[in-house]
Amino acid sequence: METIVNRVAESGIITLDLASFIPGNEVAVFDLKPFLFREMILREKDYREALAAEDWEQYRNKHVAINCSADAIIPVWAYMLAASALEPVALSVYFGTETEMINALIQSKIKTMDIADYADKRVVIKGCGDTAIPESAYVAITHRLRPVVKSLMYGEPCSMVPVFKKK
């Protein structure tokens, strides 16, 4: 009887799933739209009063994206006031959409990851998962790992696209 050998397991390939770089439920959005008069105008006095009455605990230990979903002209100081109120409770504060913030958080994790674990290794960046990963993350991880890896691939260990191989 012939023994079945798992060549993928024996290959020493490290699979890196970028979905693990996405923060879980620690993401929130602070939208200025509800603070606008008729969804068009920000009145400073009303805004300050509303910020003072806001329950900031809902943002505790979360990454918060500040934006305005209404098509209105918002003065810069309004975003600054929101950021100032969020600073004591939020993990981080970002201006932009939730998607933009998640992308920035992924980029930050890639920039600060310990690449020593990947030195002279064969690495496959997982693709085709259930979680949408921005293309910018794939570009950033390639830029970060290429100088240290033996080879870099995209896909799954059973079906990979070669990206880089050290000569």
How many residues in total does the chain contain? 167
The domain locations on the chain are: 7-23+106-165, 27-90
Q: Which residue matches tokens 């606008």?
A: 36
Cα–Cα distances (Å) from 85 to 53, 70, 166, in that order, read: 11, 21, 50
Provide the pLDDT for residue 158.
75
Distance CA 67, CA 4 (A): 56
In this prediction the pTM is 0.80
Phi, psi dihedrals of residue 36, rounded to the nearest 5°: -90, 145
Provide the pLDDT for residue 25.
75
Q: What is the DSSP string of 104-140?
A: HHHHHHHHHS-GGGGTT-EEEEE-S-SS---HHHHHH
Q: What is the mean pLDDT of residues 117-140?
A: 90
Pair 62, 90: CB distance under 8 Å: yes
Q: What is the mean pLDDT of residues 121-132?
A: 87
Does residue 3 have a pLDDT over 70? no
- Give percent of the chain above pLDDT 90: 78
Q: Strand ranges (DSSP E) for 8-91?
A: 13-16, 27-31, 63-67
- Which secondary-structure segment (H or E) carries 156? strand 151-156
Q: Model confidence over 93-109: pLDDT tens digits? A: 999 999 999 999 999 99
Pair 152, 142: CB distance under 8 Å: yes
Task: Say which amino acid occupies 101.
Answer: M
At 11, is the secondary structure helix, strand, or coil? coil
Q: Model confidence over 51-100: pLDDT tens digits? A: 999 999 999 999 999 999 999 999 999 999 999 999 999 999 999 999 99
Sign of CA dihedral 147, 150, 154, 156: negative
Does residue 134 have a pLDDT over 50? yes
Pair 148, 115: CB distance under 8 Å: yes
